[in-house]
Structures are given as C-alpha cells and as structure tokens.
Structure 1
C-alpha cells in the first residue's frame, strides 16, 4: 500500500531535524538502512545511539503492530513513533503499552518516544508543513536530543552552573581535570590546579549534586572516585563549540544556535575576550568570591567561566568533531 504524502513528510522531517541540528557538531548524524522501519539513523557523541522509527497516519489498526515491532527491536537505543493525534489512535497505543507493562516488560518502554501530529495536518499546505516541522523540531530536540543524546542537560543546569560563587573558571577546570585524569582525593586535585583542597571540595560536591559528575563505575580499577557524566560531557562540548565560535560575534551555525536557545544561552552575549569593561580574568586567581552584578545573564556568566578556565587554569576546549563509529568500534 502506497504511503500518504503526510506519512512521507513526517518520516523525512524527523531525519531532517536530526541532521540539521547535528550541524552544531555536538553530535554526529548518519542515516541508516533498517528496512523494517520507516526511518532510522545513528547518532554519536562519546557513544553511539541507534534510532529507529515508525510513522502512522491513516490506519489505526497498524498501531498495535507498529509498537510491538518497535519494542521488539534489540539494536536500537531510541524508538520513535510519529502518529496522528486522534482519540482512537491514542486509545490503541495506550492499550498496547499497557500490555507491555502487565507482562512485566516495562523496561522496554523507556526507549520509546511518541510524537503526536494534529489530525487535520495537510502536507499539501505550506503553512501546515512549516508549523508541524517547527513543532516536531521543538519536541524532538527536547525529548530526544537534550534528554538522551546530550545526557539530559537542561537550561536550569546551565543557569545553575554559571551562578555558583567562588573562583570563576574553577568549575570547568575541575570538570576538565576529572575527565582527563579522574579524581582520587581533594588534596591531590588541588595540587594539580595549584589551589587548596577546600575550594576543590566545594566544586566536587556541587558537580556531584547537579549530576555533572557521577560515582566511578569501577573506582578500584581506575583509581577514580568520580567520572564525568553524559551531562557533564555535553556541557564541556558546548563550551568547546562556543570557544571555537568566539570570533563570529554570535553568528554561529543554525544547529548550535538551536541547542543554545534550548539551554538559555545567547551566542551574541558570549564574548570570550571581554565579558565586561575592565574585566581581567587573571585577577581572579586566589579570589574566593566574586560578586557578579545582576545585569550579567547566564550567557555572559558562561562566557566568563570559559574565559577564566582558559586563561587561569589552562583548560583547553577542543572543538568536538564526532563521527559515527563503525561496526568494529573504530
């Protein structure tokens, strides 16, 4: 049976959104060939995420089959279902999902992301296509890209991170050192950074409480009590991308601009060399407190954090260039 124009548009839109936002270089994108599904792709950051999806537009009877086929897929980390938003479709989907819960297979549902499209969507209408594309981009970006691919980082995480008092740049420096060398104890890390154990302890506790670092998976073997979380990697990669774009006056690529908008960061406000008149990052070494003027929004504060981490602590921010790992992991 030939697919409808709406069906084809929705399947293509999901892939187009994921590909377009990958221009941020915060993750890599590659379309995949999984013949059982309507669309499929691979996304990679520090790890690889396989995505498979189905689209339903006209035939409600196909929902049960689609969901069971998706949930039986073992090779995909994320399962996407795009469907027409009518009560009958939602009822059938609810019943299929309930069957999985009753069968003790609730864990399989954690991979599933469902995106509803207005029932009167007409793919022959330019305005309808534009609106649906915009809605899908917003929901896919938040429910898949931020929540899964970028480790669950949120706007609140970023605003909280840059609002911490104390030595500017130290938070990123500690995060980068944990990523590079792990964490054994406060004194050891403090010596590496040339400061005392007390400010390091404060940062480790804050990074742990906010989920930017997590307990090491095998501390006895690695010698590291903590390791950087996926959310922490996402933050460092964002700083790396903003650092690489510092000479563009905020005129960054569309993918990075979109991710920044979701995280409450304005690239135009990120001036890495002059966060405010008379600012000198070198003066902040040894300062235990810097009261920031209320006019400095999260974007300006993030700029100060990146700039001070680079100038004071020698933190490098490589511009991430992810690629899709091959089958053998290379």
Structure 2
C-alpha cells in the first residue's frame, strides 16, 4: 500500500531535523538503510548512536506491530515513533506499552521516544507543513538530540556550570585534565593543575553532582575513579566549537546556533573573539561589560581555561564512515 503524503513528510522531517542539527559539528549524521523501518540514521560523537523509527498516520491497528518491531531492534539506541494524535491511537499505544512492560522487552522501553502530530495535519498545506516541522524540531531537539545524542545535557546544566564561583576557568580545566589523563586522586590532580587541593576538590564535587563526570570503578585501584561522562564530552565539544567560531562575531553556523539556543546560550554574547595578550579573565577591565547572563559567563570560563590554565579545546570533527550498524 502506497504511503500517504503525510506519512512521507513526517518520516523525512525527522531525518532532516537531525541532519540540519549535525551542521553544528557536535555530532556526525548519516542516513541508514535499515529496511524494516520507515526511517533510520546513524549518529556519532565520542560514541555511536543508532536511531530507528516508524511513522503512523492512517491505520491504528498498526500501532502494536510498530511498537513490537521497534522494541525488537536490539541495535538501536533510540526508537522514534511519530504518530497521529487521536484518542484511539493513544489508547492503543498505552495498552501496547503496558503489555510490553510485562515482557522481556521491557528494558528497551526507555529507548522509545513518541512524538504526536495533530490529526488534521494536511501535507498539501504549506502552513501545516511549516507548523508541524517547527513543532517536531522543537520536541525532537530536546527529547532526542539533547537527551540521547548529546548525553542528556540541559540548559540548567550549562547555566550552573557557567556560574560557579572561584578561579575562572578552573572548572573547564579540571574537566579537560580528567579527559586527558583520568582522575586518580585529589593530590595527583592538584599537582597536575598547580593549585591547592581545596579548589580542585570543590570542582570534582560540582562536576560529579551535575553529571559532567561519572565514577568508573577500576579494579586496579581503591575507591571511585572519575571519567568524563557523555554530558561532559558534549560540554567540552560545545566550548571547542564556540572557540573555533570566535572570529564570526557571534553569527555562528546554523546548526551550532540551534544547539546553543536549546542550551540557553546566545552566541552573539559569547565574546570569545577578542583574545588579548594581556587579558586577565579573572577581572572585568575597562571596556568589558560586567554581565551576569549564562552566555557571557560561559565565555569568561572558556577564556580563563585557555589563557590561565593552558587548556586546548579542539574543534570537534566527527565522522561516520567506520560505523556499520545497519
């Protein structure tokens, strides 16, 4: 049976949204050929993510089959279901999920992301297409892009990180040091950073509480050994991209601008381009406005990490040729 125009539009829209956001270079995108599904793609950052999805438009009786097919896909990290909003569809989906909670597939339900589309959507209407695409872009960006692809980083995470008090740039420098050589002990990290143990310990506690680092039990050593989490890598990649774009005066590439907006960052206020040899990031000198917003504070943290602590923030350039998960 030929698919409807609405079905085709919605399937293509999901892939287009993820491809457009990949222009941020915070992850790589490649459409996949998993023939059982209506759409599929592979995504890569420091790890790989496979996305598979189904679209439901006309036939409510297909809900159970679609959910079973998605949950049976063991290789996919995100299972996307785009469905028409009707009471019958929602009821059937609720029953299907309740049933699968009692089966061996229950542990895969947390991979499922459901996105509802108004039942009167008409793909022949330009205004309908524009509105539905915009709503899908908003929900997919938050519930899939940030939550799955970028490790679960949130606007609150970035705001918290940017507003920590103390030595400017130390938080990002500690995160970069853990990424480079791991974390063995406060004493070791203190020596690597060249500061007292108290500020280092404070940063470790804060990074741990916000999920930018996570404990990894190493059987060769006693106690928890911290490593950078997916969320932490996403933060460092974001900072690296902002540094790479500093000569654009805040008018950054569309994909990066979109991700920044999701995280409460106005790229035009991330004043990274005027690096000065005698600039002291710990103070606000003449001509530098004292700002309290997340964007400016994040810029100050990045500049401090580079100028004071010698942190290198490479521009991430992820690729997918080696991924073969279709």
Whether TM-score is above 0.5 comes out as: yes
Aligned to 1:241: 241
**Runs (4+) of structure 1 moved beyond 3 Å?**
221-224, 273-276
Map Cα deviations across residues 126-146 of structure 1 (whole Å, 9 max, x no partner).
Answer: 110000000000100100110
Q: 1:254 to 1:327 in 2, by over 3 A?
A: closer
Distance of 2:183 and 2:10 partners within structure 1: 46
**Shift, 1:262, TM fit:** 0.5
Q: Is the 8 A contact 1:174 1:203 kept in 2?
A: yes
Unmatched 5+ residue regions in structure 2? none
Aligned to 1:256: 256
With structure 1 as the length reference, what TM-score do the two structures score?
Answer: 0.92
Aligned to 1:145: 145
Q: Is the 8 A contact 2:214 2:227 kept in 1?
A: yes
**Shift, 1:300, TM fit:** 0.2
Aligned to 1:290: none
Q: Is the 8 A contact 1:155 1:262 kept in 2?
A: yes
Aligned to 2:168: 168
Q: Which residue among 295, 302, 308 is the counterpart of 2:304?
A: 308
Aligned to 2:80: 80
Aligned to 2:315: 319
**Shift, 1:193, TM fit:** 1.3
Aligned to 1:195: 195
Map Cα deviations across residues 150-203 of structure 1 (whole Å, 9 max, x no partner).
Answer: 010000000000111100000000000000001111121111111111111111
**Does residue 37 in structure 1 map to residue 12 in structure 2?**
no
Q: 1:134 to 1:275 in 2, by over 3 A?
A: farther
Q: 1:281 to 1:125 in 2, by over 3 A?
A: same
Aligned to 1:297: 293
Distance of 1:328 and 1:265 partners within structure 2: 34
Distance of 2:198 and 2:47 partners within structure 1: 34
3-state DSSP of counterpart to 1:316? coil
**Shift, 1:295, TM fit:** 3.4
Map Cα deviations across residues 88-108 of structure 1 (whole Å, 9 max, x no partner).
Answer: 000111111111112353211
Q: Is the 8 A contact 1:64 1:93 kept in 2?
A: yes
**Shift, 1:114, TM fit:** 0.5
Q: Is the 8 A contact 2:56 2:83 kept in 1?
A: yes
Map Cα deviations across residues 63-110 of structure 1 (whole Å, 9 max, x no partner).
Answer: 111111111111211110000000000011111111111235321101
Distance of 1:296 and 1:2 partners within structure 2: 55
Count of residues paired in the alignment: 321
3-state DSSP of counterpart to 2:60? coil
Unmatched 5+ residue regions in structure 1? 285-292
Q: 1:100 to 1:13 in 2, by over 3 A?
A: same
Q: Is the 8 A contact 1:282 1:312 kept in 2?
A: no
Aligned to 2:281: 281
Aligned to 1:213: 213
3-state DSSP of counterpart to 2:101? helix
Greater CA deviation, 265-274 or 252-261? Answer: 265-274
Greater CA deviation, 186-195 or 23-32? Answer: 186-195
Q: Is the 8 A contact 2:48 2:323 kept in 1?
A: no
Distance of 1:322 and 1:18 partners within structure 2: 15
Map Cα deviations across residues 36-81 of structure 1 (whole Å, 9 max, x no partner).
Answer: 0100000001110011100010111111111111111112111100
Distance of 1:115 and 1:328 partners within structure 2: 27
Aligned to 1:289: none
3-state DSSP of counterpart to 1:216? strand
With structure 2 as the length reference, what TM-score do the two structures score?
Answer: 0.93
Aligned to 1:228: 228
Q: Is the 8 A contact 1:183 1:223 kept in 2?
A: no
Give the superposed CA RMSD: 2.2
Q: Is the 8 A contact 1:184 1:223 kept in 2?
A: no
Aligned to 2:48: 48
Q: 1:282 to 1:60 in 2, by over 3 A?
A: closer
